[in-house]
Homo-oligomer: A and B are copies of this chain.
Amino acid sequence: MIKHALPVTRDADFAAWYQAVITEADMAEESGVRGCMVIRPWGYGIWERIQRLLDDRIKATGHDNCYFPLFIPLSYFEKEAEHVDGFAKEMAVVTHHRLIADGKGGLVPDPSAKLEEPLVVRPTSETVIGVAFARWVQSWRDLPVLINQWANVVRWEMRTRMFLRTAEFLWQEGHTAHATEAEAREETLRMVEVYRDFAETCVAMPVIVGEKPENERFPGAVGTWSIEAMMQDGKALQAGTSHFLGTNFSSAQGIRFQNKDGQLELAQTTSWGMSTRMIGGLIMVHGDDDGLRVPPRIAPWQIVIVPMLRDNDEDEALIAYAKDIQSNLSTLTALGEPVRALLDLKPAKPATKRWGWVKKGAPIVIEIGGRDMAGGNVSMIRRDRLYRDDGKLDSQVVLRGNFEADAPQLLADIQQALFDQADARLKANIAPVSDWSAIEAMFADGQRNPGWADVAWSKPTGTVLDAIVERLKALKLTLRNVPIGQTAHPDAACIFAGDPAVERVLVGRAY
C-alpha cells in the first residue's frame, strides 16, 4: 500500500484533507484576524496566474480595468432595497477615523472622530460603480460602458473556510451598462462563457454553464448565470457568476441616456465576478492524497529542478548542469507561453524538496544527482502520474536532451490529462433522476460522492419554488443551475410538482 504524503486521505475525511492540502502545499494560513487568511507565495502565485490569464480574456472582450473606492457610504445602500437585503447582515462598518490612547496603555476609537455617515467596506461594488456610471452615461454614444475591477471585498461570514468562504477575499468584478436589454443579456452570456472557457482551458476544470433558479439569483438581479464545477466529494462549487441586472440598479442610481431619438432611457446593466474561491475549487478538483496538482497553465512554476546537493566538491558542477537545463527550458514555449522553470537551491534535503514540490503540485519535478549528470540524464517525476503500477514512485531517468525537447508537449499532455480526469468524473456523477424517491435514495446518509441529480421540472416560481427549496434543504440539497441549451424531454413531468416539465435542473450539495 502506498504511503501518501498527506496526513489524511480524501476518503478518510474530505474536509480535513482539504485543509491539509492548503497547509502542506504552503498555500495559505490563518492570519490571526478573524475570517481573514494569509495567502502564501504558492497560493498567491496561482492567483497571479489566474489573474493574468483571466484578465487577458476580459480585455480581449473589450473591457477596461478601473478602480473604485473600498468604502461605500451607507446612503448608497439605502437606494437599493432588494440588494441590501441580500448583504446587510454581513458587512464591515467603519464608524471612526482615529484612535486615541485609553489611558490604560491601550487604544480605542476616538469618540470625537466619529464619522457623520458610516462607511461600509464593499461587499461588492454595484452601488458605488452605479453612481459613477450615472456620471459617465449621458448619451447613447457613451454606451456600452465595459469595465472591470480587481479588488478585495469583505462579507462578514460567520463560518469561514480558507479560499471557499473568507471574510475578506480577492476577486474581479465586471460592471457594464448597455443601451438595450438584448445587448446586456448578450454581455451576461458572453462573460459566463468567458468563465467557462477560462475554467476549462486554464484551470482544467470542466463546468456546467446554466441559469440559476429564481431563489439563487444575486440580490437585485433579473437573471444570474453560473459555472458549476464538481468537487471530488460530489459537491458543487459555483466558480463564477454573471448577472443580468436589467434596470434594477440603473433606476435606483439614475443611469439614464438620451437615445438616438432624443428620448431618455434607463441603461441596462450587468455584473460578473470570479474570486479566490476558484483556488478552493482547484484543490478539490485536482488534489490527491499526495497534495495539490496544479494544471501547467496556472502553475507558478511548471518545472522545478532539484539538484541533489551533498555539500561536496561535486555540487558546483551539479548546479552548473541544472542551470544549463533551466536556461534551455526557459527559451521554450509551452501552451502558448514561455516555459516557467525554477531551479531550487534552498538549503534543505533533496527528499524534503522533492516531497515539498509534490505536495505543492508542480507539474514536473526534475531531480539531478551525480549519476544523472554523468550519464547526461535527468530523473523526472510527472505529478499527474506519481506512482507506477507496483505502487513505487515513478521517477524516470531520461536523456536531458530528450527531456528538453519533449517538455512542451509533456506540459500540454499533463494539462489535458488533468482535464480529462475531472471531466470523466463530472460526466460519471451526474445522474438523470425521474422521481423524488430516487433523489432521497441518491442522497441518503452514507452515500459516497452522490454527485448531482439531473431532473426535469416545470420552472416554478414564488411560493411553489419556496416549498421545493425547503424540501431540498431537508436533504441538504440546493438547485444548482439550469444547463444552457438543454430542454426537458417533451413527455417528462416535473419531479417536484408533477406538472409538465419545461426544462432540466441540476440538484446537488454545494460549497
By a beta-carbon cutoff of 8 Å, the part of chain A in contact with chain B is 29, 31-33, 36-41, 44-45, 47-48, 64-75, 77-78, 84, 88-100, 105-109, 118-121, 128, 131-132, 135, 141, 147, 151-152, 154, 156, 167-168, 170, 347-348
Interface of A is mostly: mixed
* Cα–Cα, bound, A152→B149 (Å): 13
Q: Which one of B44, B64, B78 contacts A106 once the chains associate, using CB atoms below 8 Å?
A: B78
A66 and B78 contact, Cβ closer than 8 Å, known pairs A33-B128, A97-B90: no
B119 touching A107, Cβ below 8 Å? no
Chain B contacts of A107 at CB under 8 A? Answer: 74, 77-78, 84, 88
* Cα–Cα, bound, A260→B74 (Å): 55
A101: nearest chain-B partner, CB-CB: B88
B98 touching A95, Cβ below 8 Å? no
B105 touching A88, Cβ below 8 Å? no
Q: Which one of B44, B105, B348 contacts A67 once the chains associate, using CB atoms below 8 Å?
A: B44
B77 touching A128, Cβ below 8 Å? no
18 A-B pairs (CB sep. < 8 Å): A33-B71, A38-B66, A38-B132, A45-B65, A48-B65, A84-B99, A84-B107, A88-B98, A88-B107, A91-B97, A91-B99, A92-B94, A92-B97, A93-B94, A93-B96, A93-B97, A121-B121, A141-B348
CB distance from A324 to the nearest CB of B (A): 20
Chain B contacts of A91 at CB under 8 A? Answer: 97-99
Chain B contacts of A89 at CB under 8 A? Answer: 98
* Cα–Cα, bound, A128→B34 (Å): 13
A32 and B131 contact, Cβ closer than 8 Å, known pairs A71-B92, A119-B92: yes
CB distance from A432 to the nearest CB of B (A): 42
* Cα–Cα, bound, A11→B119 (Å): 39
B154 touching A70, Cβ below 8 Å? yes
Most chain B beta carbons < 10 A, residue from A29, A72, A94: A94
A109 touching B99, Cβ below 8 Å? no
A69 and B128 contact, Cβ closer than 8 Å, known pairs A77-B99, A90-B98, A93-B99: no
A93 touching B109, Cβ below 8 Å? yes
* Cα–Cα, bound, A106→B151 (Å): 27
A64 touching B41, Cβ below 8 Å? yes
B106 touching A31, Cβ below 8 Å? no
Chain B contacts of A47 at CB under 8 A? Answer: 67
A36 touching B71, Cβ below 8 Å? yes
Give 8 new A-B contacts, CB below 8 A, not counting A93-B95, A93-B98.
A32-B128, A33-B69, A33-B71, A44-B66, A88-B98, A92-B96, A93-B96, A98-B156
CB distance from A46 to the nearest CB of B (A): 11
* Cα–Cα, bound, A89→B107 (Å): 11
A66 touching B41, Cβ below 8 Å? yes
Chain B contacts of A93 at CB under 8 A? Answer: 94-99, 109
* Cα–Cα, bound, A448→B175 (Å): 45
Chain B contacts of A66 at CB under 8 A? Answer: 38-41, 44
Chain B contacts of A48 at CB under 8 A? Answer: 65
Chain B contacts of A67 at CB under 8 A? Answer: 38-39, 44, 47, 170
A74 and B99 contact, Cβ closer than 8 Å, known pairs A38-B69, A66-B44, A67-B44: yes
